[in-house]
Amino acid sequence: MRQLISDKSNIILFFKYIIKILIIFLLNNSILNKKYIDNKNTNVENILNILNAKKIDKLLYIKNKDNKDNIYFIKYNNSLNISLYDFLFINNIKTNSIKNLINQFPKLNKIKYNQSLYFFILKNKNISKIIWNVSNKEKIIFECINNNFIEIKVINLKNKKLIIISSLFNINFFINNIKKNILNDNYIKTIKSILNKITNINKLKTGDKISIIILNYNNIYNLNKSNNKLIGIKVYTNNKKYYALKLKNDNKFYDQNANSVNYNKFIFPIIGKINITSNFSNKRLNPITNRISPHNGIDIKVPIGTSIFSICDGIIKKVSYDKNAGNFIVIDHNNNYITKYMHLNKSLVKTGQIIKKGDLIAISGNSGRTTGPHLHFEIWDKKKAINPLNVKKLNKLHKLYGNKKIEFIKFFNKINSYID
Ligand SMILES: [Zn+2]
């Protein structure tokens, strides 16, 4: 009996649901609710103004004479008591488009009661744009490009807007699409350079989340390039978060611990396969003297005539000859780090010369005391030789201290609280 009542109530619920879907379907498709506007300018702000003025909230067709892809508009309100998927489905939106959207942004399924989502739909029934009024202070715009969505979160702060643009797909595609609309070219270079410093740009894959953080001192929807200032980047990859954020009046970007990210990774002095014939060691049996002595660098076997490159930016400290080291070069990297390159055939630089990472500095040889052609390469940190194979980054960290650090951490936490 109890089973029967339960079945009965399930059937009633089911019919109630069907009726609700039918009513919504009829409402959405009734001619009465189709309002037309000529739209020469599909500016989001204009459209929202028109909607608010006319108090239209069901369906609006936007006639766009110039554009073959007529856009129409639907509003989803959570008080409709129907899931977003069902709502889009009964509005004939392509299921692929819905699935991509909800997979990429599951939070759309959790919009609060009485909140609205505004959908801009193309004639081919694909979603082109979504606007979510999260609160008086916050709007989220989802722009669809090739079936993927870029999320643009706009937050009103005191006399400025914080804009966070996030994407879960191909980094180059993402950067190129921001470039067109939102950021100046010089910022794009900065983004790529910072990405390379905080993570390996080539190893980023679809599904890794990248957020670009921008401050704008102007109109909320006018994402005009010239008003946008890049202030940070967040990358989420392999379950790790990487940050670069800058404070007002400071050109450097810092991570979550207030350590500068503007330091260079070094390159190896030789291009191609590295064949190490003698490792760094504090106690090495010297093959020539037969005595135990420290080997302050690594020996890389290379034929005479191989190009030797500077591993990092710096200034040439010494170019000289020594009966043991042969022709050698010492580079000062301006930050307690010094590198030495020995047994060269020929040096191509002069003392005092300023060099960049990757500059050709010498031709390898077999000069000095050796058992065969090779490059002896050393890295010194302050006055101590270190194993080059254990060094990942050469330039010293720049850190914020005291009040500056406190100010930065406070700012960091505030900005980070807006990024998912
Ligand atoms: Zn050596």
Distance 394 CA to ligand 1 centre (A): 21
Q: What stretch(es) of the chain map to CATH 2.70.70.10?
A: 276-390
Q: Is the pLDDT of residue 330 over 90?
A: yes
Chain mean position to CA 141: 18
Give the CATH architecture of domain 33-245.
Roll (3.10)
Write down the pLDDT at residue 82: 76
Whole-angstrom Cα distance, residue 318 to residue 330?
5
Write down the pLDDT at residue 31: 45
Residue 208 CB neighbours (<10 A): 17
The SS3 assignment for 9 reads helix
Whole-angstrom Cα distance, residue 287 to residue 3?
90
Write down the pLDDT at residue 378: 96
pLDDT band for position 71 (cuts 50, 70, 90): low
Q: What stretch(es) of the chain map to CATH 3.10.450.350?
A: 33-245
Spatial CA neighbour of 233 closest among 265, 201, 205: 201
Distance 309 CA to ligand 1 centre (A): 18
Whole-angstrom Cα distance, residue 99 to residue 78?
19
Distance 119 CA to ligand 1 centre (A): 67
Distance 206 CA to ligand 1 centre (A): 44
The SS3 assignment for 153 reads strand
Question: Regarding the domain delimited by 276-390, which CATH topology (the fold level of the hierarchy) does it fall under?
Answer: Glucose Permease (Domain IIA) (2.70.70)
- Is residue 238 a contact partner of residue 199, using CB atoms and an 8 Å limit? no
pLDDT digits (tens, 9 = 90+) for 17-32: 888 777 766 665 554 4
What phi-psi label fits residue 125: left (phi over 0), alpha (psi between -120 and 50 degrees) or beta?
left
Distance 376 CA to ligand 1 centre (A): 4
Question: Which stretch, 125-139, 193-207, 226-240, 343-357, has highest mean pLDDT?
Answer: 343-357
> What does pLDDT average to over the chain?
80
Write down the pLDDT at residue 58: 45
| Residues in contact with 363: Cβ distance below 8 Å, sequence separation at least 6, in sequence order | 304, 305, 306, 307, 308, 344, 345, 346, 348
Write down the pLDDT at residue 119: 83
The SS3 assignment for 250 reads coil
Distance 299 CA to ligand 1 centre (A): 5
Helix, strand, coil share (%) of the chain residues, nearest 5:
30, 35, 35
The SS3 assignment for 380 reads strand
pLDDT digits (tens, 9 = 90+) for 37-55: 554 555 556 666 665 655 5
pLDDT band for position 227 (cuts 50, 70, 90): confident
Buried b or exposed e, range 21-44, using 16+ CB within 10 angstroms: eeebeeebeeeeeeeebebeeeeb
Distance 297 CA to ligand 1 centre (A): 6
Write down the pLDDT at residue 299: 95
Whole-angstrom Cα distance, residue 211 to residue 167?
7
Of residues 328 and 63, the one with the higher pLDDT is 328
Output the six-digit token pair for 351.
């003392």
Distance 319 CA to ligand 1 centre (A): 18
Distance 377 CA to ligand 1 centre (A): 7
Q: Is the pLDDT of residue 107 over 60?
A: yes
Distance 371 CA to ligand 1 centre (A): 10
Question: Percent of the chain at pLDDT above 70?
Answer: 80
Distance 185 CA to ligand 1 centre (A): 46
